[in-house]
Structure 1
Amino acid sequence: MTTPEDQSPAPQPPATPTSDRIYRSPAGIVGGVLLLGLIGWLGIDAIVSGHGRTPWLALAMLILLVPLVVAFTVRPAVYAGENRLRVRNPFRVILLPWGEIAGLRSGYSNEVVAKDGTKYQLWAIPVSLRARKKANRQEARARAQQAAQREGRGGGRSRGGFGGFGGFGGAGASAADGGPARAETDKVMDEVRALWESREKEETAQGEVTVRWAWEIVGPAIAGAVVLGILLIVG
């Protein structure tokens, strides 16, 4: 026989905080990995089989180039959390509470603007003008097809047949059903902007903007440049 105490629900574990949304450039990562492989192969080959000062020059070049390649390809990332936006650029890490952001801009590059007017470029979300133009063409085709269909229904004539050639109708339908056609990076900026607008007034999303230099990248690059310069001067 069970008692009311036995029928009480078991205590639930505390909810875990929502993890950050992470945005990175897949093309940049792939290109960076391939470039690192090429640099490593050439550098190690020069160190192993080179003569005279060649191995030392190759080693200095590796110390200089590897951090730079990592900085501009693999490293960039944007972390959008509940209370702040963390931007990891090639040489700096910027922490912006949502309440300190004045806006997000998308032009020839994607940027976040702080309330003090400082602009920070989002290296991990590069703008593709080609993708943006392609999305605009798809949107224009979808609107033209919708107008033709409305005209066909209203006037008893149907021009929808022209939309079937060359996949034209498929592109227009997908744009019409899923909303306006948008480039992928523009969709990402829309997501970040929506999160900012929903969280900027929250008390936990207030604070100060902090900027930290990425010495783990800058230090080795400077050391490699110094060593390379000395070797070239000494001859």
Structure 2
Amino acid sequence: MTSPDPAPAETPYADRVFRSGAGIAGGVLLLALAAWLGGDALIRGEGRTPWFALAGLVLAVPLVVAYTVRPAVYVNTERLKIRNPFRTITLPWASVETLRSGYSSEVFTTGGDKYQLWAIPVSLRARKRAARRQMQASLDDPNARTPLLQTGRNSGPTRAPSDQALDDLRELAELHAEDSAAQGEPVVRWAYEIMAPVVAGAILLAVLFAVG
């Protein structure tokens, strides 16, 4: 008599990632501009111009990456991980008190700390557009029989993207706050890989200006 196969272990969900497409696009454009201008100064510059160009690139490129390409929010059933310009904050769901979306997206912990979600920027214009769509939808269907996603000339979500993202995160927090795998304390790690070249570039610029 053969014994039944053991139940397969539960496979953890892959991270869901929130990022700002507009921020990434702007960062790529700035990096391309820096490479063009800085590269030209490095190759064709005379005297100390190449050194100033090098110092400027070492200082500017990490800052551009930090504020445009780097920000991201990763979530799964166990935790919320926030990658901001100079820090990475890992919050088990049990440590999340609430999430708010006012003029910026923020998360508050049970310990009273507050962290911004740079990867989920708030657009007041998008929020106003969504409010107009919601009002139009209520006028077209006062009994609320139609779905939130309209069709036709008023098509589009009736929630701003940042507000919808925060709603999704709140739902995950409520669902998994009591899970055993979602317990623990917040962990904050500084992004030294960003900070170190910024400091080095600033020092090199200061030395170049001091030497005259």
Which residue of structure 1 lines up, in the alignment, with residue 100 of structure 2? 105
TM-score when normalising by structure 2 = 0.90
Measured after TM superposition, the shift of residue 134 of structure 1 is 0.2
Which residue of structure 2 lines up, in the alignment, with residue 170 of structure 1? 152
Greater share of residues in helix: 1
Matched residues in 2 for 1:208 and 1:187: separation?
26
Measured after TM superposition, the shift of residue 70 of structure 1 is 0.2
Aligned counterpart for 1:190 among listed residues 167, 171, 177: 167
Which residue of structure 2 lines up, in the alignment, with residue 218 of structure 1? 195
TM-score when normalising by structure 1 = 0.82
Measured after TM superposition, the shift of residue 63 of structure 1 is 0.1
Matched residues in 1 for 2:142 and 2:165: separation?
29
Can you give the 5+ residue segments of structure 1 that lack an aligned partner in the other structure?
151-167
Provide, for residues 2-40 of structure 1, a one-character-per-residue CA deviation record: whole Å limited to 9, x for no partner.
xx86xx988786443211111111111111111101101
Aligned length: 208
Mean alpha-carbon deviation: is it higher for 99-108 or for 141-150? 141-150
Aligned counterpart for 1:114 among listed residues 109, 113, 117: 109
Which residue of structure 1 lines up, in the alignment, with residue 206 of structure 2? 229
Give the fraction of aligned pairs with identical amino acids, expressed as a percent: 56
Which residue of structure 2 lines up, in the alignment, with residue 155 of structure 1? none
2:177 is matched by which residue type in structure 1? Answer: E
2:22 is matched by which residue type in structure 1? Answer: A
CA distance 1:50–1:127, change in 2 (3 Å): same
Matched residues in 1 for 2:176 and 2:124: separation?
30
CA distance 1:93–1:140, change in 2 (3 Å): same
CA distance 1:210–1:12, change in 2 (3 Å): closer
After the TM superposition, which parts of structure 1 deviate over 3 Å for at least 4 consecutive aligned residues? 8-15, 147-150
Q: Is the 8 A contact 1:22 1:80 kept in 2?
A: yes
2:182 is matched by which residue type in structure 1? Answer: A
Which residue of structure 2 lines up, in the alignment, with residue 90 of structure 1? 85
Q: Is the 8 A contact 2:131 2:158 kept in 1?
A: yes
1:195 is matched by which residue type in structure 2? Answer: L
Larger Rg: 1
Q: Is the 8 A contact 1:64 1:221 kept in 2?
A: yes
The CA RMSD over aligned residues, in Å, is 2.3
Q: Is the 8 A contact 2:138 2:144 kept in 1?
A: no
